Amino acid sequence: MNYIFGPVPSRRLGRSLGIDPTPPADPLSLARVGPYDRPRAPKACNWNCVYCQLGPTRPFTRSRSLFFPPEALFAELREAMDSGLTDGVDWITFVGSGEPTLNKDLGVLIDGVKAVSQIQIAVITNGSLLSFPEVRLELLGADAVMPTLDAGSPSLFRRINRPPSEFGFERHVEGLTAFRRAYTGKLWLEVMLVAGLNDGEAALRDLAASIDRVAPDEVHLVLPTRPPSEAWVHPACEAAILRTKEILSSVARVILPDERHGGFGNAWEEDHFATATSIVERHPMSLGELRTALVNWGAADPDSIIRELVSLGKAIKVEHGGETFLRGRR
């Protein structure tokens, strides 16, 4: 599958079927099909967050483009529905190999999915392009939008999210507030708590002031428990989490989602290797998670598939927090 992956267990959304609007491109392939100018880098993003589970952003994708014909996704979704892949799925989530709003067709994709499915649609985004009116308009059709706000000051915003110079802190917060004024769905701000960066009292009070401006329905605290872009990144401690909930709760409802919710669903196809590849290149998995998923999919020898993923260069092993993860090679 080229655009759909999972279902995967989501911290916030139960069982989520992923749609990747910026799918990984083969960096050795320079092919172009009509107006669909896919980026040459395997990750399309305009930020370089220190905690990103997909690894560093090289290079930045600074402008929106067309990645693939929308009908290609719709055909794949119809096939997934016919095969029962969407049975028991709680949400269809636009997320994946970079920043979803970099796809100019995002509004068309959301509307097309809603036309064939009754499943709720979520978009996980860094929110950086919400300063553009056309992007805000495209996202109005989603049932939930989950943008990022990790910092309450320009300096900390630069240290954590590391955007290009044109993406300033005030622009980011103003984009979020403008979207809030127009959007009637669920607006859930995501705050990634990084030890020693944004979990101190002063940083949290600055963050609370910015969150108050945006007025989200909820604030979701998440932790960098999967291998981050920078090895020095670690989750905030329990005391810092409690401090964060206390300070941010003064301006919004704060949720700390469970790290693992539900389980991996049925495989997209009998080729378990292909299914595992499509997931780990977008969603790093611990060895335990991957073994369990492969067994659930009916794989007779999950360890041989894991070895093959590594030996063929489809994934690399990364140690983090005392666990071994498989992450797509980038």
d(CA 159, CA 117): 40
Give residue 200's domain range.
4-266
> How many whole angstroms separate alpha carbon 72 and alpha carbon 16?
20
Quick one: 185 and 310 in the same domain?
no
Q: Count the domains in the chain.
A: 2
Provide, rounded to the nearest whole percent, the portion of the chain with pLDDT above 90. 61
> Domain boundary residue among 238, 266, 294?
266
Could you tell me if 217 and 288 lie in one domain?
no
CATH number for the domain including 166?
3.20.20.70
Q: Let me know whether 83 and 15 are in one domain.
A: yes
| Residues 77 and 141 grouped into a single domain | yes
- Whether residue 240 is found in the same domain as residue 330: no
What is the structure's pLDDT at 266? Answer: 53
DSSP character string of 31-96: --BTTB---SSSSB-S---TT-TT---SS---S-B--S-HHHHHHHHHHHHHTTTTTT--EEEE--
Who wins on pLDDT, 237 or 274? 237
Question: Residue 145: what pLDDT?
Answer: 98
Say yes or no to pLDDT of 219 above 80.
Answer: yes
CA distances from 266 to 83, 166, 214, 260, 275 (A): 10, 43, 38, 17, 10
Boundary (domain end) residue, out of 214, 246, 266: 266
Strands of 165-313 (E only): list them.
Answer: 186-192, 218-222, 254-255, 285-286
User: CATH code at 293?
Assistant: 1.10.10.10
Query: Given this model, what pLDDT does residue 32 score?
Result: 46
Please give the C-alpha separations between residue 265 and each of 9, 52, 210, in angstroms, as whole numbers: 8, 25, 38
* Model pLDDT, residue 122: 97
pLDDT tens track for 245-266: 999 999 999 998 654 444 455 5
* Of 2, 76, 79, 77, nearest in space to 33 by CA: 2
| Residue 186 and residue 84 share a domain | yes
SS3 state of residue 118: coil
* Residue ending a domain, choose from 266, 282, 315: 266
Closest-CA residue to 35 (of 2, 72, 68, 83): 68
- pTM for the model stands at 0.81
Listed in order, strand segments (DSSP E) in the chain are 4-10, 14-19, 91-94, 120-124, 144-146, 186-192, 218-222, 254-255, 285-286, 315-320, 323-328
pLDDT tier at 30 (50, 70, 90 boundaries)? very low
Are residues 259 and 146 part of one domain?
Answer: yes
Mean pLDDT value across residues 123-145: 98
Decide if pLDDT at 24 tops 60: yes
pLDDT for 91-106, tens place per residue?
A: 999 997 889 999 999 9
- How much is the average pLDDT of 137-159? 98
Tell me the pLDDT tens digit for each residue of 181-198.
999 999 999 999 999 999
State the pLDDT confidence band at 268, using cuts at 50, 70 and 90.
very low
One domain for residues 166 and 302: no
How many residues make up the chain in this entry?
A: 330
Give yes or no: residues 101 and 168 share one domain: yes
pLDDT of residue 278: 73
Q: How far apart are the first and last CA of the chain?
A: 19
Does the pLDDT of residue 114 top 90, yes or no? Answer: yes
Q: Clarify whether residues 283 and 194 are in a common domain.
A: no
At residue 291, the pLDDT reads 84
DSSP helix/strand/coil, 229 = coil
How do 120-124 and 218-222 pair as beta strands? unpaired
Spatial contact of 129 and 102, defined as CB atoms under 8 Å apart: yes
Q: Are residues 32 and 146 in the same domain?
A: yes
pLDDT at 202 over 90: yes
What was the pLDDT predicted at 40? 46
User: What span, in angstroms and rounded, lies between the C-alpha atoms of 193 and 199?
Assistant: 6
**One domain, residues 305 and 156:** no
> Contact, 4 vs 76, CB < 8 A?
yes
Name the DSSP letter for residue 151: -
330 pLDDT exceeds 70? no
pLDDT at residue 22 in the model: 93
